[in-house]
Amino acid sequence: MPDEDRPLDFETRQIHAGAVVDAQTKARVTPIYQTAAYVFDSFDDGEERFAGRSAYRAYSRNENPTNAVAGRRIADLEGGVDGIVVASGQAAIATAITALAGAGDHILATRSLYEGTREMFSGVLKRQGIDFEYVPDDASDEEWAARFRPQTKAVYTETLPNPLGQVVDIARIAGLAHAAGVPLVVDNTVPTPYLWRPIEDGADIVIHSTSKWLSGHASVIGGAIVDAGRFDWAAQAERFPQLAGQPRPGVPSFVERFGSGAYLAYVRAVIVLEYGPTIPPTSTFLLLHGIETLSVRMDRHIANAQAIAEWLEGRPEVAQVFYPGLPSNPYYERAQRYLPAGAGSIVSIDLAGGRDAARRFIDSLRLISPMTHIGDVRTLAIHLGSTIHAKLSPEEQADAGITPGLIRLSIGIESARDIIADLERGLVAAG
């Protein structure tokens, strides 16, 4: 007899979680609900939908039935209470942050963040009055504690930062954030919930660029926000009045109305509704198909990345390989703790010949695609100093670990032998 009490395994949930069989057609695959709005059953039904008291929707700006399935599925895989998908990973970050902070507020972030995220923090979000302060990932507890202010609203980090793969000690940073009375927001794009579920280590809010491994085929842009449902907003009511206070006289707070799901309810009902970072259901349809094969693809990504990283370590043209799955990597032991199933599929290399060698390497590739993306089934390569980090001064690049010869590889699921053959072609040309 099947064990009815045993939770379903990840591989099963990535296919079934959040899905609802269409009531009229009985379609097994989640349909594309290509509609802007929904008919109300009655006057009272319309009122209930706009008040957020109905299970049905009022408008597709802040959710659509296709999108709702994806949000629930990603939340289930991460171990959260609720999730929502939005137009891009950048939109997910901006939405998550603006739900917590506004003009005059302060966010602490780890220094290893992806440069695109840092640009948004120092650009549009800074112009909105939010102050971002960076702390070395492995700074002492005392240094972290000294950086918190009364205006601090969150700590922001990434599980496995791109491109250098510094494995962040999420459990420690979660403890520091909670001791200061603020939530920990974690971008988990690179490992995906198949390899790492940061909520289990204390994260309160998890973000994804679903354009990457979750969808897997470089065909759609999207983002997701997951609420762990564990942060005690009521205990920090003065710090988060938008969640724990009454929005207007006589109206209960989001905490009173939605309990453990208060944060995501606020994101959906206020931030997403008012800013409108809506993802098309056609994109979410493709995302759902990608999630269904996530574990299968990730196993191949990891196997290829490990084999290729080990091969690259022996090449004389390569001054350094950045991959936490290598015993020589300074984050290897931490990767064994947090990423026992594999260290992801970003492998970065510093070419000994610098920028000129990087140019020859990139221009000699035939199978590997030179492009700005990660998490594709195809293997991708990009020279970071001339593209993603090009806006930084040489001193800033050096501070971020971006050397003249640094190449980021996103290892795909092709034959490892064929990937290595193309890398060898590039390395021979790099000389």
pLDDT digit string (tens) for 285-311? 999 999 999 999 999 999 999 999 999
Same-domain status, 386 and 302: yes
Q: What percent of the chain has pLDDT over 90?
A: 93
Same-domain status, 346 and 299: yes
Residues of the domain holding 36: 10-290
Does a structural domain hold residue 363? Answer: yes
Does a structural domain hold residue 404? Answer: yes
Over its C-alpha atoms, the chain yields an Rg (Å, rounded) of 22
pLDDT at 250: 87
Q: CB–CB of 89/189 below 8 Å? A: yes
Q: Given a cut of 80, is residue 3 above it in pLDDT?
A: no
| Cα 19 to Cα 15: distance, rounded to the nearest angstrom | 8
String of DSSP letters for 264-289: HHHIIIIIIHHH--PPPHHHHHHHHH
pLDDT digit string (tens) for 361-377? 999 999 999 999 999 99
Domain count, the chain: 2
Does a structural domain hold residue 360? Answer: yes
Of 290, 321, 348, the position where a domain reaches its end is: 290
Same-domain status, 336 and 286: no
Q: What is the pTM of this model?
A: 0.96
Does a structural domain hold residue 4? Answer: no
Q: Output the CA–CA distances (angstroms, integers) from residue 161 to 8, 58, 62, 189, 346, in the order listed.
A: 30, 38, 29, 9, 10
Same-domain status, 306 and 234: no
Same-domain status, 281 and 335: no
Q: CB–CB of 360/429 below 8 Å? A: yes
Which among 399, 416, 364, 421 is positioned nearest to 407, based on CA atoms?
A: 364
Does a structural domain hold residue 2? Answer: no
| Cα 192 to Cα 421: distance, rounded to the nearest angstrom | 28
Same-domain status, 217 and 134: yes
Q: CB–CB of 222/279 below 8 Å? A: yes
Same-domain status, 283 and 303: no
* pLDDT band at residue 1 using 50, 70 and 90 as cut-offs: very low
pLDDT at 22: 83
* pLDDT band at residue 2 using 50, 70 and 90 as cut-offs: low
Which among 62, 58, 114, 72 is positioned nearest to 271, based on CA atoms?
A: 62
Which among 19, 63, 70, 69 is positioned nearest to 37, based on CA atoms?
A: 63
Q: CB–CB of 205/186 below 8 Å? A: yes
Residue type, 380: L
Q: Output the CA–CA distances (angstroms, integers) from residue 94 to 225, 240, 284, 314, in the order listed.
A: 10, 17, 19, 41
Of 265, 290, 315, the position where a domain reaches its end is: 290
Of 290, 321, 341, the position where a domain reaches its end is: 290
Same-domain status, 213 and 301: no
Same-domain status, 263 and 303: no
Which among 220, 226, 210, 225 is positioned nearest to 280, based on CA atoms?
A: 220
CATH number at 317 reads 3.90.1150.10
Same-domain status, 147 and 78: yes
Same-domain status, 312 and 209: no
Does a structural domain hold residue 218? Answer: yes
Does a structural domain hold residue 180? Answer: yes
CATH number at 286 reads 3.40.640.10
Q: Given a cut of 90, is residue 214 above it in pLDDT?
A: yes
Which among 89, 45, 28, 35 is positioned nearest to 65, based on CA atoms?
A: 35
Does a structural domain hold residue 83? Answer: yes
Same-domain status, 281 and 317: no
